[in-house]
Chains A and B, each alone.
Chain A
Amino acid sequence: GEDVEQSLFLSVREGDSSVINCTYTDSSSTYLYWYKQEPGAGLQLLTYIFSNMDMKQDQRLTVLLNKKDKHLSLRIADTQTGDSAIYFCAETSFQKLVFGTGTRLLVSP
C-alpha cells in the first residue's frame, strides 16, 4: 500500500542543522520530493532526487536516499528562522504524488 511516514515535529535553534526523515513504500518511484509549506500558502518545491541517485546537494539543502531501506532525509544546514514551516516528503506512485503527513519545523532564535 501507499504510506509515506514522517515525524510530526522538529525543534532546532537558529544556526543548527535540521534533519527531517521520511520513509516511503513505492520502490518504483521515479522522483522523491521535498516540499515546504508556510502558513496560508501552497506547496513550494524545495528539492527532489531522482531514484537512481544516493545524494543531492543544493546550497544549504542535502537530500540522502537509501533505496534499500526506503528512507529519505532532508538536511538543512545553518537553519534560519525563515525555515520555520511544514516540510512534506512525497513519492510518485501510479502517476500521482503520495505525501507524508508533514514535519513541522520550528526554529528558535
Chain B
Amino acid sequence: KAGVTQTPRYLIKTRGQQVTLSCSPISGHRSVSWYQQTPGQGLQFLFEYFSETQRNKGNFPGRFSGRQFSNSRSEMNVSTLELGDSALYLCASSLGQKNIQYFGAGTRLSVL
C-alpha cells in the first residue's frame, strides 16, 4: 500500500509569490492534515480536512489556505510569500478524526 505522497519535494520561491503544495493520502484515508515545521517554532498544525470540509484550523494568517478534493487529495496554498514561510510542510493522513496519522516526506519550501 503506497504511503502519503507529497509533491513537489523541494520548492524555491521569491517573496510576494504564491505557492501550491499537493498531498495524496494513503488509499482509503479520508482525513488530511497539514503541519509546518521550522527550527524556531517546531511542528505546528495548519489545518485538517475530512470529506472536502475543513474541520479544524491552526493559528496561521489567512494567506495560508487549503482544500480537499473528492478523491481525498489535498492542496495547500500560501499567497504573498514571506521569508518566514520558509519551512518543511508536512501532510498527514488518517482514516478519520481519532485515527493514527501517517506522514509524508514533506515539501521543503525556501523563500528568497
Interface residues of A (CB under 8 A from B): 30-31, 33, 35, 41-45, 48, 88, 90, 92, 94-102
Contact = CB atoms under 8 A, between A and B. Distances in A.
Contacts, number: 50
Interface stretch (B61-69, B79-87, B100-108): B100-108
Interface residues of B, number: 22
Nearest to A2: B45
B43 to A, nearest CB: 4
A45 B103 contact: yes
Given A88-B43, A102-B42, A97 B90 contact: no
Contact of B48 (A31, A41, A90, A95): A95
A101 B100 contact: no
A32 to B, nearest CB: 11
Contact of B102 (A31, A45, A100): A45
Contact of A42 (B33, B100, B105): B105
Interface string B41-74: 0110100100000011010000000000000000
Majority DSSP secondary structure for residues of B touching A: strand
Contacts of B92: 43, 97
Given A42-B90, A42-B106, A43-B90, A97 B101 contact: yes
B101 to A, nearest CB: 6
Given A94-B56, A96-B56, A97-B35, A35 B48 contact: no
B98 interface: yes
A101 B44 CA distance: 11
Contacts of B33: 96-97
Q: Which of A35, A41, A97 has the most CB of B within 10 A?
A: A97
B97 interface: yes
B103 A42 contact: yes
A100 B35 CA distance: 13
B58 A96 contact: yes
5 closest pairs, A vs B, by CB?
Answer: A99-B43, A43-B103, A42-B105, A96-B45, A42-B106
B100 A48 contact: yes
